[in-house]
């Protein structure tokens, strides 16, 4: 009986192979290719040179009980090559982003298509449907197989309710079991041949964000939060979902779905420079976004709004005097904004009635005098239940909002993000999403969306360590803006850390903290510490407050995932250097060549470097100033959890 079963299986396999159709799309430089196979389903392989990095991956979509991709019947194939330049208004890496790819569209007979793009640094695919009317999507199968023993770097969650702030987990691909915790994008893969793959998505609209489970076969498969059917408020910051629908999305039947993309390289530096989310996202829907002014903000939450310098002769806290003090500090250093976090309003569900101690109009008026504007913190429930709020804020002179505690990525919440940022744009108000899912391109459609949190950032105090943060430039920040809230002036090594609000502290050296402003990318970059400490460390504060948030050019000078980052970034004619390391046995020493500088000019390089004792006393740094020119070399030495920050003028 077993022989007969084996024979039948072999015949079926031979029959499927005989009828399989292969379609290939190759990157413009010929180094990356995707081979798509149509047989009893749609599968694809992806090669980097001769290395097979994605093997027999599956894709399908269940629409109203019919699975698109289960028995694909090709109608025709379309191909095109594109070589253009995108110019995003909020440019966190490059003012001009080359967009060069080859595209293959497989049009199927059941009114759908799959589009594949091959770039010199990766591949992407998506479903496109022409079904008309409204459809219910019950599932989308995104199954990815990687070579055995590949190393996965994941953020794992126990449920669909997550703030996306989990620390990274490290799992072998064949050890991630189906009963283990889920993970969400982005996922970082290192194959045994040392090719790296960053897996993420772009152009996420009217559709939930996927999670993944291991599938016991050196791969992982998507699972999605279904549409909410019944929910009730838990408190002012969250709702409890009591019942969900059977489907994951109800949406238009004629549309394109989110891109699933893979950045692929054997050079770790490539992940610091990638712009894949930008290239795959829609262009701005705001015709003239010139009113959107990215920049830095002074933030009072981390330091509990208690400045204590010799000029503080008032009772500090959430009151007019304190916020004016923060504004005066911001004004002195050219910082554009202050954030008024939780407590500025009398009630978190009422955005129209300030805390009696916070005369918001007086604070805003003072800000106008000193050139500093206000950003107001809100819960998402407050925003949802007060639809006229943005119009009122615009009348008051509020410039931005920080919206918190979404902690979900189902279709309703994804749509909340877009509805909210679109409404804010009507009234020329920018948005920072805190307690947020990972960026997926909405920030390019609405450039008034300056940043997202969803990261183990410095507000986690001692839980925020360089051993985790060193991965952020390669993974989380590689897909979009990241609100980390750097800028601590109280620095320690992890073995001696002890701090809590209002005397908050960070792990990592002083030079490390300064470098984060160069390395990390956000359209709204917050200075988290106390004005008192910034005044006491004027040199450091002047450097930090001079670092732009928009960059015309980015160059990764040295990078190793999990070990170190050194980048150079240009704004206008000025270059900044930033380096960071994690825990290590010996200092990291290297030389970098300033071959990115223009010929025939002499520049001044001002650097902030780890002091000789910084491996024990993390506050120890040294400032150096010297003349440099194109082709000169600069020696960099970073201790454990250390850094390097410099400006070249």
Catalytic residues: 404, 459
- State how far Cα 503 lies from the chain centre: 29
> Which sign does the torsion angle of CA 153, 158, 160, 161 carry?
negative
CB 254 within 8 A of CB 131: yes
User: And the tokens for 471?
Assistant: 């991965």
The four Cα atoms 502, 506, 510, 511 give a dihedral, to 10 degrees, of: -140
Can you tell me the distance from the alpha carbon of 562 to that of 147, in angstroms, rounded to the nearest whole number?
A: 21
CB 461 within 8 A of CB 504: yes
DSSP H helices, 205-355, are 270-273, 276-280, 320-332
On the CB side of 31, CA atoms within 13 Å amount to: 11
Can you tell me the distance from the alpha carbon of 195 to that of 271, in angstroms, rounded to the nearest whole number?
A: 12
Provide the pairing of β-strand 449-452 with 430-433: parallel
Q: What angle do CA 586, 590, 592 make, to 5 degrees?
A: 160
- If phi > 0 it is left, if psi is from -120 to 50 it is alpha, else beta; for residue 302 that is alpha
Can you tell me the distance from the alpha carbon of 38 to that of 69, in angstroms, rounded to the nearest whole number?
A: 8
The four Cα atoms 390, 396, 398, 399 give a dihedral, to 10 degrees, of: 80
**3 state SS of 480:** coil
Contacts 24+ apart (CB under 8 A), 236-240: 236/348, 236/349, 236/379, 236/381, 236/382, 237/348, 237/379, 237/380, 237/381, 237/404, 237/405, 238/381, 238/405, 238/407, 239/381
- State how far Cα 427 lies from the chain centre: 26
User: In degrees rounded to 5, what are phi and psi of residue 73?
Assistant: -120, 110
**Residue corresponding to tokens 């293959």:** 104
Residue 558 burial by Cβ neighbours in a 10 Å radius (0-12, 13-18, 19+) = middle
User: And the tokens for 296?
Assistant: 């830095």
Total residue count of the chain as it appears in this document: 649
CB 103 within 8 A of CB 111: no
The four Cα atoms 466, 167, 175, 258 give a dihedral, to 10 degrees, of: -110
Can you tell me the distance from the alpha carbon of 98 to that of 134, in angstroms, rounded to the nearest whole number?
A: 36
Say which residues have a Cβ less than 8 Å from residue 340's Cβ, sequence separation at least 6.
300, 323, 358, 360, 363, 374, 375, 376, 377
Can you tell me the distance from the alpha carbon of 364 to that of 370, in angstroms, rounded to the nearest whole number?
A: 10
Q: What angle do CA 531, 535, 538 make, to 5 degrees?
A: 130
């Amino acid at each position: 009986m077993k022989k007969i079963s084996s024979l039948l299986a072999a015949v079926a396999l031979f029959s499927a192979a005989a009828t399989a159709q292969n379609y290939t799309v190759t990157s413009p430089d010929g180094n990356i290719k995707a081979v798509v196979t149509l047989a009893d389903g749609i599968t694809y392989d992806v090669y980097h040179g001769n290395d097979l990095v994605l093997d027999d991956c599956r894709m399908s979509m269940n629409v109203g009980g019919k699975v698109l991709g289960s028995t694909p019947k090709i109608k025709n194939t379309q191909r095109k090559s594109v070589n253009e330049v995108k110019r995003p208004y909020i440019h966190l890496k490059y003012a001009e982003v080359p967009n060069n790819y080859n595209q293959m569209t497989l049009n199927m007979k059941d009114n759908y298509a799959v589009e594949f793009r091959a770039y010199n640094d990766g591949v992407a695919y998506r479903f496109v449907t022409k079904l008309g009317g409204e459809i219910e999507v019950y599932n989308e199968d995104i199954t990815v197989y990687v070579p055995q023993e590949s190393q996965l770097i994941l953020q794992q969650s126990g449920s669909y309710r997550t703030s996306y702030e989990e620390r990274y987990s490290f799992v072998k691909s064949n050890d991630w079991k189906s009963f283990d915790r889920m993970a969400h994008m982005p996922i970082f893969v290192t194959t045994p041949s040392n090719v790296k793959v960053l897996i993420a998505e772009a152009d996420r609209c009217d559709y939930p964000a996927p999670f993944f489970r291991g599938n016991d076969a050196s791969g992982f498969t998507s699972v999605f939060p279904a549409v909410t059917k019944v929910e009730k408020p838990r408190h002012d910051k969250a709702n409890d979902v009591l019942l969900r629908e059977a489907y994951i999305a109800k949406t238009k039947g004629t549309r394109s779905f989110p891109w699933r993309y893979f950045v692929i390289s054997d050079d770790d530096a490539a992940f610091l420079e990638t712009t894949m989310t930008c290239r795959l996202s829609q262009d701005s829907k705001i015709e003239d976004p010139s009113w959107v002014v990215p920049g830095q903000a002074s933030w009072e939450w981390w330091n509990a709004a208690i400045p204590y310098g010799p000029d503080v002769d008032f009772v500090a806290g959430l009151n007019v005097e304190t916020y004016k003090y923060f504004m005066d500090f911001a004004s002195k250093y050219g910082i554009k904004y202050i954030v008024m976090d939780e407590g500025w309003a009398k009630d978190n569900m009422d955005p129209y009635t300030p805390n009696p101690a916070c005369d918001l109009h007086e604070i805003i008026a003072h800000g106008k005098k000193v050139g500093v504007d206000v950003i107001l913190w809100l819960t998402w429930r407050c925003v949802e239940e007060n639809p006229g709020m943005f119009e009122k804020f615009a009348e008051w002179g509020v410039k931005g909002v920080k919206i918190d505690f979404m902690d979900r990525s189902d279709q309703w919440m994804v749509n909340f993000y877009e509805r909210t940022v679109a409404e804010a744009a009507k009234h020329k108000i920018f948005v920072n999403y805190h307690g947020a899912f990972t960026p997926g391109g909405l920030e390019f459609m609405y450039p008034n969306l300056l940043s997202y949190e969803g990261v183990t950032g410095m507000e986690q105090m001692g839980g925020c360590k360089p051993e985790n943060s060193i991965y952020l430039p390669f993974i989380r920040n590689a897909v979009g803006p990241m609100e980390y809230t750097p800028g601590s002036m109280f620095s320690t090594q992890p073995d001696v850390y002890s701090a809590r609000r209002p005397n908050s502290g960070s792990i990592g050296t002083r030079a490390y903290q300064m470098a984060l402003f160069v390395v990390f990318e956000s359209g709204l970059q917050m200075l988290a510490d106390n004005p008192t400490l910034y005044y006491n460390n004027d040199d450091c504060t002047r450097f930090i407050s001079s670092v732009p948030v928009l960059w015309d050019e980015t160059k990764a000078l040295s990078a190793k995932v999990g070990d170190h980052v050194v980048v150079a970034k240009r704004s206008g004619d000025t270059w900044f250097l930033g380096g960071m390391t994690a825990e290590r046995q010996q200092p990291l020493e290297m030389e970098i060549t300033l071959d990115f500088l223009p010929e025939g000019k002499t520049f001044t390089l001002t650097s902030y470097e780890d002091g000789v004792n910084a491996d024990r006393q993390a506050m120890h740094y040294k400032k150096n100033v010297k003349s440099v020119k194109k082709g000169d070399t600069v020696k960099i030495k970073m201790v454990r959890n250390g850094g390097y920050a410099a400006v070249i003028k």
